């Protein structure tokens, strides 16, 4: 690998740069970053990780093997059109753009490309992302192994078909927000029943960590683990009955389905815009 270029320098780009550098998978001097107009952010990344930055596209793409598309999805069409003359079939393109399909990227580039679509989540910032990867037939086995190693620096990776990425977006891409939403509710309830906020937060975080660890380490299904905590006539059963009365489980199911559907709608809308 000669050089990696990040087009876009937001939080996901930074999480990936941090993972690559801290795990010594790539020398920081071989990572180049650019963005639309935020020089302050580029300087911050240079100082923090030792990467290179420039607004000169000739410099960004000189001897580059891998390009990360990490701009905001709304800026994707403009950004890809701006760099298309530098993209070749020898360069591996890795996209972390939600709702932007491989065919759309190739259409904007006006040429066939080796493309990997990745759907990480914001937990990449702490090395705990759940990332799904989808590829086209121009990506080699060697390139795929390298991409998997890259995303393993920020968490777990799995390979799916591209048509499954909308489901992944609804489930794990947006998933951290659902857990934060739950934590918000637990925190509010803690205030109502007389616990101090700092004490409540410690208890909530450890409860979520412990439950996640149980799900990870136990061979039992979530339903069985729940039943084992729920004694007849006990406190947990009383709480679960309230959740059932509000159809909370069905609400979560509908939430994930709607997020997946919105991902699909956004992808279709983006594809339609660039076809006009």
Strand partners, 7: 34, 69
66-69, strands of its sheet edge to edge? 52-53, 31-34, 4-7, 66-69, 92-95, 114-119, 129-135, 155-159
Q: What is the pLDDT of residue 247?
A: 98
The tokens of 211 are what?
């439950």
User: pTM value?
Assistant: 0.92
Per-residue pLDDT of 31-85, as tens digits, reads 999 999 999 999 999 999 999 999 999 999 999 999 999 999 999 999 999 999 9
Residue indicated by tokens 């509908």: 254
Residues 161 and 179 in one domain: no
Q: pLDDT band at residue 1, thresholds of 50, 70 and 90? A: low
Residues 125 and 190 in one domain: no
Q: Please count the structural domains in the chain.
A: 2
The enclosing H or E element of 15 equals helix 11-22
Q: What is the pLDDT of the chain when averaged over all its residues?
A: 95
Q: pLDDT band at residue 272, thresholds of 50, 70 and 90? A: confident
Q: pLDDT band at residue 86, thresholds of 50, 70 and 90? A: very high
Residues 21 and 157 in one domain: yes
42: domain CATH number?
3.40.50.720
Is the C-alpha dihedral spanning 155, 159, 165, 170 positive or negative?
A: negative
Is the predicted pLDDT of residue 275 greater than 80, yes or no? no
**Residue 266 falls inside a structural domain:** no
Residue 177 CA to residue 256 CA, distance in Å, equals 11
In sequence order, the 6+-apart residues with CB closer than 8 A to the CB of 236 are 229, 230
Q: What is the pLDDT of residue 148?
A: 97
Domain edge (last residue) among 165, 193, 212: 165
Residue indicated by tokens 């004490």: 199
Q: What is the pLDDT of residue 131?
A: 97
Residues 187 and 223 in one domain: yes
Residue 119 CA to residue 170 CA, distance in Å, equals 10
Residues 10 and 135 in one domain: yes
Contact 115, 93 (CB under 8 A): yes
Structural domain including 91 reads: 4-165
Average pLDDT, integer, range 184-209: 97
Q: What is the pLDDT of residue 164?
A: 97
DSSP assignment of 116-128 = EEEE--GGGGGT-
The Cα-based distances of 159 to 121, 163, 169 in angstroms read: 15, 12, 14
Residue 207 CA to residue 175 CA, distance in Å, equals 17
DSSP assignment letter at 195: -
Average pLDDT, integer, range 232-253: 97
Per-residue pLDDT of 92-129, as tens digits, reads 999 999 989 999 999 999 999 999 999 999 999 999 99
Per-residue pLDDT of 59-70, as tens digits, reads 999 999 999 999
Reduced to 3 states (helix: H, G, I; strand: E, B; else coil), residue 6 is: strand
Is the predicted pLDDT of residue 276 greater than 70, yes or no? no
Contact 124, 150 (CB under 8 A): no
Q: What percent of the chain has pLDDT over 70?
A: 99
Average pLDDT, integer, range 130-156: 96
Nearest to 34 by CA among 65, 2, 59: 59
228: domain CATH number?
1.10.3730.10
Residues 110 and 238 in one domain: no
The tokens of 245 are what?
């009365």
Is the C-alpha dihedral spanning 38, 43, 44, 46 positive or negative?
A: positive
Is the C-alpha dihedral spanning 49, 55, 59, 61 positive or negative?
A: positive
């Amino acid at each position: 690998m000669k050089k990696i270029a990040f087009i876009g320098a937001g939080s996901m780009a930074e999480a990936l740069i941090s993972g690559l550098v801290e795990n010594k998978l790539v020398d920081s001097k071989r990572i180049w970053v650019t963005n639309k107009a935020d020089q302050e952010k580029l300087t911050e990344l240079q100082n923090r990780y030792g990467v290179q930055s420039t607004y000169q596209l000739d410099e960004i793409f000189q001897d580059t093997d891998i390009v990360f598309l990490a701009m905001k999805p709304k800026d994707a069409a403009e950004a890809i059109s701006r760099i298309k003359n530098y993209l070749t079939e020898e360069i591996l393109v890795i996209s972390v753009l939600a709702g932007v399909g491989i065919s759309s990227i190739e259409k904007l580039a006006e040429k066939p490309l080796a493309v990997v679509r990745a759907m990480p989540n914001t937990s990449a910032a702490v090395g705990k992302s759940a990332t799904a990867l989808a590829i086209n037939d121009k990506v080699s086995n060697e390139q795929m192994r390298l991409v998997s190693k890259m995303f393993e620096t920020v968490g777990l990776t799995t390979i799916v078909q591209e048509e499954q990425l909308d489901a992944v977006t609804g489930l794990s891409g947006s998933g951290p927000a659902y857990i934060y939403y739950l934590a918000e509710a637990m925190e509010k309830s803690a205030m109502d029943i007389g616990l101090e906020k700092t004490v409540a937060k410690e208890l909530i975080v450890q409860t979520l960590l412990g439950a996640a660890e149980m799900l990870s380490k136990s061979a039992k299904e979530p339903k069985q683990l729940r039943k084992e905590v729920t004694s007849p006539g006990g406190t947990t059963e009383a709480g679960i009955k309230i959740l059932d009365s509000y159809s909370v489980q069905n609400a979560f199911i509908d939430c994930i389905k709607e997020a997946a559907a919105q991902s699909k709608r956004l992808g279709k809308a983006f594809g339609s815009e660039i076809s006009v």
